[in-house]
């Protein structure tokens, strides 16, 4: 079992980064009066809330299995990533509304050089933290950390677009460009948000493991065909970093219980080696019994 407690510090890093960037971007807005920089600062507020939720979700997910949660608490991460996805969508919508208003009523940008420099520093902080979270999320297979990283990267792209827009508007005097760039970047942020929400919903709905992983499992099971062994009712799902795999093994009815048990132990060990962090459940059935072949569904037929 992965030591989930170790990844909580990465979520804490995200909270710290959000606090720092809120201060920097808020200062940049006060210096310039740019609607783009204000929208950027508001998104960082969303980042802070999302980071706090991710920190709590990872704390819950790190709890060991107990009597009421025999399969652990790892699904808590899906709630965090889904919440972050929704927050991203809300932030993108808010940016579009604010940008549309500023497009209708453009205003001159004050002290653009200092404001853009401060915003660029905040963007660099977010980029560095996002890369750290991406690596940690993939190494520990944490959807919450990956969602947080995606959220920070969406903020990076937003900030870059805003910097370009504000800089171009200040240089050309065409202040509507500030709003146009903010709208374009918000559209990209919407795409990221929809992706996070979709991934979280699939996880909560117990979507099966990827096809490539299933092929590894079926290859192990089919390799036993020469011994007169068959399988069916293969089911897979994932909860955070934990994978759950179950299947039925059909063997000749004259096998001893010990022989069948030894076979299951060998197969389970092979599957766990091929699919790390997996819990494997098997069921032994006599191959000659017609009832064995009908036992394919979660609900037994009447």
Whole-number Å distance between alpha carbons of 164 and 126: 17
Mean pLDDT of 178-204: 77
Q: Which range, of 7-21, 129-143, 185-199, 268-282, averages the lowest pLDDT?
A: 185-199
pLDDT one-digit tens code per residue, 107-164 = 777 888 888 899 899 999 989 999 998 888 888 777 667 777 887 887 788 788 778 8
Residues 221-253 as b or e (16 or more Cβ within 10 Å = b): beebeeeebbbebeebbbbbbbbbbebbbbbee
Residue 289 has pLDDT above 60, yes or no: yes
Residue 299 pLDDT level (bands cut at 50, 70, 90): low
Residue 220 has pLDDT above 90, yes or no: yes
Question: What is the predicted pLDDT for the residue at 76?
Answer: 76
CATH architecture under which domain 4-204 falls: Up-down Bundle (1.20)
How many CB atoms lie under 10 A from the CB of residue 169?
A: 24
Q: Please indicate whether the domains covering 4-204 and 211-294 agree at the CATH topology level.
A: no
Residue 2 has pLDDT above 50, yes or no: no
- Token pair of 115 as six digits: 């404001």
Residue 266 pLDDT level (bands cut at 50, 70, 90): very high
Question: What is the predicted pLDDT for the residue at 259?
Answer: 93
Whole-number Å distance between alpha carbons of 256 and 58: 45
Q: What is the CATH number of domain 211-294?
A: 3.30.70.1350
* Residue of higher predicted confidence among 96 and 270: 270
User: Which helix or strand (DSSP H or E) is residue 282 part of?
Assistant: strand 278-286
Residue 296 has pLDDT above 70, yes or no: no
Whole-number Å distance between alpha carbons of 62 and 32: 44
Closest listed residue to residue 140, CA positions, set 3, 244, 14? 3
Residue 7 has pLDDT above 50, yes or no: yes
End-to-end, the C-alpha distance of the chain in Å comes to 38
Q: Is 113 exposed, middle or buried (0-12, 13-18, 19+ CB in 10 A)?
A: exposed
Domain ranges of the chain: 4-204, 211-294
């Amino acid at each position: 079992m992965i030591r989930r407690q170790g990844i909580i510090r990465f979520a804490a890093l995200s909270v710290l980064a959000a606090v720092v960037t809120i201060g920097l971007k808020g200062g940049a807005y006060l210096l310039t009066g740019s609607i783009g920089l204000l929208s950027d600062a508001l998104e960082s507020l969303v980042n802070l809330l999302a980071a706090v939720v991710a920190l709590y979700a990872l704390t819950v997910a790190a709890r060991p299995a107990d009597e009421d949660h025999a399969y652990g608490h790892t699904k808590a991460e899906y709630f965090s990533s889904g919440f972050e996805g929704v927050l991203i969508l809300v932030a993108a919508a808010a940016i579009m509304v604010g940008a549309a208003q500023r497009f209708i009523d453009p205003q001159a940008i004050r002290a653009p050089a200092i404001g853009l420099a401060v915003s660029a520093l905040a963007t660099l902080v977010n980029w560095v933290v996002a890369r750290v979270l991406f690596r940690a999320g993939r190494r520990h297979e944490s959807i919450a950390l990956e969602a947080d990283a995606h959220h920070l990267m969406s903020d990076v792209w937003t900030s870059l677009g805003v910097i370009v827009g504000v800089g171009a508007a200040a240089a050309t005097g065409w202040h509507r460009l500030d709003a146009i760039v903010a709208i374009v970047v918000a559209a990209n942020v919407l795409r990221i948000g929809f992706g996070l929400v979709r991934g979280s919903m699939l996880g909560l709905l117990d979507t099966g493991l990827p096809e490539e992983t299933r092929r590894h499992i079926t290859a192990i099971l089919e390799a036993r065909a020469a011994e007169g062994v068959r399988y069916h009712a293969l089911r897979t799902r994932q909860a955070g970093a934990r994978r759950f795999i179950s299947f039925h093994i059909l063997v000749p009815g004259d096998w001893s219980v010990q022989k069948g048990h030894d076979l299951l132990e060998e197969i389970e060990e092979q599957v766990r080696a091929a699919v790390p962090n997996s819990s494997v459940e098997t069921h032994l059935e006599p191959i000659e019994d017609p009832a064995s072949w009908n036992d394919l569904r979660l609900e037994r037929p009447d």
